[in-house]
Amino acid sequence: MNYPNKKKSFQKEVNKANLGMTLESDIDATNRYYLDSGIAVIHKKPTPIQVVNVSYPARNKAKITEAYYKTPSTTDYNGVFKGKYIDFDAKETNSTTSFPLKNIHPHQISHLTSVEKQNGIAFFIIHFKPYNEYYILPIHLLMPLWENQYKEKGRKSIPYAYFKDNLHQIHFSYQPRLDYLKVIQTVFNF
């Protein structure tokens, strides 16, 4: 029998498969707002796949039954804002103390450094879920931290304090949800 005032303790199992989906939906809503308002054109990039097998149970009901990733996806989003090319990825962490560098892939680093070399705006949006805080992490600030992890006794994560002390926060609001372009203008001086 369950009494109304009796507290149950349980531990919620975290499904990491959809980690980042809330952040991505907030960015998608923000990008729709930017597009509808004529502010910017930024879209989520599709993941490139190679279809291997398709089942046709009925003429109009084709179903992909087997597919593989063609190449690793570079980043989640790209587009144009005030004549500048923008390319970025969205990452989340459940940690309260740091952001693990293993959440970023070497091909993403390579891609974003190439974008920056062409004078594009390259960055990550990092969401610390326990604090519900969002930060812009430009690729040029990430690179020394990224390279340090490969040194002897190099740190494999970025401390939360680094975000608080050195990076710009994106504040959550109603419209747009995550006005990251406002922060981008400050970070990249344009």
Give all domains of the chain, ordered by start, each with its CATH number.
Answer: 19-46+72-187 (3.40.1350.10)
Q: Which single residue is written with the structure tokens 């531990």?
A: 11
pLDDT at 122: 97
Cα(158)–Cα(124) distance, integer angstroms: 13
Mean pLDDT of the chain: 87
Residue 6 pLDDT > 80 = no
pLDDT at 21: 54
pLDDT at 71: 67
pLDDT at 72: 67
**Neighbour count for residue 151 (Cβ, 10 Å):** 8
User: What integer is the mean pLDDT of 66-93?
Assistant: 89
Buried b (16+ CB within 10 A) or exposed e, 5-20: eeeeeeeeeeeeeebb
Extract the annotated binding site: 74, 76, 89, 108
Extract the annotated binding site for Mg(2+): 74, 76, 89, 108
Residue 89 pLDDT > 60 = yes
pLDDT at 9: 41
Angle between helical axes of 106-117 and 139-148 (0-180°, round to 10): 140
Give percent of the chain with pLDDT exceeding 70.
Answer: 87
Cα(25)–Cα(176) distance, integer angstroms: 12
Q: Picking from 54-58, 70-74, 128-132, 182-186, which range would have the lowest pLDDT averaged per residue?
A: 70-74
Residue 86 pLDDT > 60 = yes
pLDDT at 109: 96
User: What integer is the mean pLDDT of 1-7?
Assistant: 48
